[in-house]
Amino acid sequence: MSRTTLNASFSRFARRLLCATALIATAASGAARVPTAAALDAEVARAMAATQSRGLAIAIIDNGRVVRVRSYGERNAAGAPLETHSIMYGASLTKSAFAYFMMQLVDEGKLDLDRPLAQYLDRELPAYPTEDKYAPWADLAADDRWRSVTARHVLTHSVGFANFAFLEPDGKLRFHFDPGARYAYSGDGMILLQFVIERGLGLDVGVEMQRRLFDRLRMHDTSLIWRPAFAANLADGWRADGSVEPHDERSKVRAAGSMDTTIDDIARFAAAYVRGEGLSAKARAELTKPQLAITTASQFPSLQTELPVDQRSAALAAGLGVIRFTGPQGAGFMKGGHNDSTANTLVCIETGQRCVVILSNDVRAEPTFPRLVEFVLGRTGTPWRWEYGDMVFWDGGHVER
């Protein structure tokens, strides 16, 4: 046998050995190969039939690249098909995009995560007049804790506010604990940071995110504010009782959740996010490192009593705008989005830069998310019970209601 033939044979053997080793490691970690389109279609069909959900779209990212984007079912009661470019409500996935934008500002030296937000303003926060776009800052006049709130507190949901002031018994904004003390989900916290970016730094959040994120990533059908062009291929939603909820034409930019998008577009965002496109390596790492321990049994209600220390999960923590977890495949992160007729989830595993994004215009689809994500990514350790509380998840059979 010639040296050339011997070298070629050895190279083939080495490639096969490396491939086999990788497959063994993948199997041991609980990871899964990217399913074929046919296999994915069949699994989603079963999930939708079990829950009677009317519309769902899914995207798969592998090695930081979009490899599969599919849509199923209907976008409205008239039976128009849900397409991969149909406009869907992003809900609280908006927060993950907003946090990404914040880290761009950190990279540029415009924002310091640990500098009190009050220092960016030209007057005291409670002195600003109440505007419908923001929260009622005047309610904080008798409580100086607003002076110590930082961007890191906001992005880790540890400001101390309820989710929104309008959910308070008297409708007033207040602190329930000292900023940074614990995790408690707050949309008004995000609105505070938006206010500081707009009033303190003079940057329009809607314009800047459009330019820096959506346009840059070719997310041409994504916006934080309504566009008339969206009406041509718009997804309405279905509530838990099966009734239809028309898509809201959001007239105000809200960092807490006003984003309209498509599965095509949000797949591009997830791929860019997991790669860290447009961020320094340090800023990308900051987004998903464990920033603050999670101390509650579930995410909602957001101001629930903390668990005893010995009952808290060491594998669960707040990142910046996302939740960080550790499971069989190592570190991962997730973000959900929900309203009465919307069910969204984003789950990524850092190893292999692998993600699943699901957008559904039918809230009844939510119980299928854990199984669908596992079908694509394998066992991940995603904290579904913390995210959804006592929901009955789809196990491949029927979902009890």
Kindly give the confidence (pLDDT) of every residue in the chain, 401 residues in length, as a single tens digit, with 9 standing for 90 and above: 454 444 444 445 444 443 444 344 444 557 889 999 999 999 999 999 999 999 999 999 999 999 999 999 999 999 999 999 999 999 999 999 999 999 999 999 999 999 999 999 999 999 999 999 999 999 999 999 999 999 999 999 999 999 999 999 999 999 999 999 999 999 999 999 999 999 999 999 999 999 999 999 999 999 999 999 999 999 999 999 999 999 999 999 999 999 999 999 999 999 999 999 999 999 999 999 999 999 999 999 999 999 999 999 999 999 999 999 999 999 999 999 999 999 999 999 999 999 999 999 999 999 999 999 999 999 999 999 999 999 999 998 655 44
pLDDT for the residue numbered 31: 83
The two tokens of residue 119 are 């220092």
Which phi-psi region, left, alpha or beta, contains residue 389 (left: φ > 0; alpha: ψ -120 to 50)?
left
The two tokens of residue 208 are 């800047």
pLDDT for the residue numbered 398: 55
pLDDT for the residue numbered 379: 97
pLDDT for the residue numbered 240: 98
Beta strand 292-293 pairing with 342-349:
unpaired
Q: Is 331 in contact with 352 (CB distance < 8 Å)?
A: no
Q: What's the Rg (C-alpha) of the chain?
A: 22
pLDDT for the residue numbered 396: 87
pTM for this prediction: 0.92
